[in-house]
Structure 1
Amino acid sequence: MRLLLLEDDLDLAAQVSAGLHRAGFAADHVATIAEADLAVTVTDYDCLVLDRMVADGDALTLVRQLRERGDEVAVVVLTARDTVEDRVDGFHVGADDYLVKPFAFAELEVRVRAVTRRRGRTRAPILRAGDVALDVPRHEVTRGGVLLSLTAKEFAVLEMLLAADGEVRTRTDLFEGCWDERTDPTSNVVDAVVAQLRRRLGPPDPIETLRGVGYRIRS
């Protein structure tokens, strides 16, 4: 899942970004509303995590513009403003959730997953293909009933492949869905993670390679 974080406190942004990466999200960071508006025009994000008051204004203006353009991306607003009126303003313009600072990262993660699920941008709670099962809420993968230990990136790639339900996912699809802008798009990270994932899953190999196209999961 790919997220956009708008936060002009660079220390907090670094902490939140690190937490999102540990949770398996790909997260891009911007510090202004103008940068956020540009980012959403070039990248299809699953969720926006927006600090409400930043240097160039109130992020609710961006939410309003997105909704007026018909963009239904999930939005979680972060703010130090905790009055009922502030929260109501956020919901009125189209935000999906409102989290008051300071907050526990675990709560942010849960809220992001909840709003993307409501917006229809996340997968079914449990994805299956053959004897491979991926439990999204528990962040667990089993094969033949045996619990496997996967890295966050391996989990994210497997989730995208299983959610495709037998359809092919190109390397570009996987890269854009599982990595953020800090990763070199010319690198072989996708192939490397797929190779690691194959080793974790063990034989028989459930991942099919379509040369020059991408990958899919055999059912």
Structure 2
Amino acid sequence: MTRESEGLRALVAGARHVLFDFDGPICLLFHGCPADRIAAEQVEWLDERGLGWVLTDSERRSEDPHGVLSSIAERHPGSDLVAELEEQLTRHELRAARRARPTAHADVLIRTWVAVGVQLAIVTNNSARTVSSYLRGRGLLRCFDPHIYGRTRDLSLLKPHPRTLNTALTALGAAPETSLMIGDSLSDHTAAVRAGVPFVGYARHDATAEQMQRAGVPEHSITRSLEPLLEAVRRS
């Protein structure tokens, strides 16, 4: 048994509740609808309404629609503009969900965890409507419903803020130390640390794994595939 598999097995053995990030660990949401295209459409939408002035030069060139929305929300909290942009992003996500590519082994991992009695939740910066739409299409909604906690109009509560994790833990009646989060970003890791929840980093790329290690995620808690995690669940 490798060090990675030993580490994952120990984390899995102690988990009674598992919190999944959505885009990455469960699917590649923007596989068929690239995020950079959505970001460009955000700019066009603002320009058409004479609101392009709200964007900085870097935001105008950004390929991250979620980041642009968060930045604008910081400068214009609670505004109608932010509410309209958030709704527009949700519509884009719902469109992307129809073409999203399932992450390898994710579906069977989810079903296996449910089969052994572990309760699951989604904690995401995406819209809960998007998550529900995708899961319904895969026949997985009942594995999580009603524990899907996503983006709200208060964008200051997006991860790395631990709000979605704390909400999920409270609703599940779960202790942080007997829970587990699976995420693929530094914001996921930071939110898990703040909530006191053990973390598994899903890193498809070397650069992501290196970033996670520099941020303090132990090497044995980082996996390049969900397959070792699935094997750990089956052996637990």
TM-score, normalising length: structure 1: 0.37
Q: Which has the higher strand share?
A: 1
Q: Which has the higher helix share?
A: 2
TM-score, normalising length: structure 2: 0.35
Name which structure has the greater RCO, CA cutoff 8 Å, separation 6+. Answer: 2
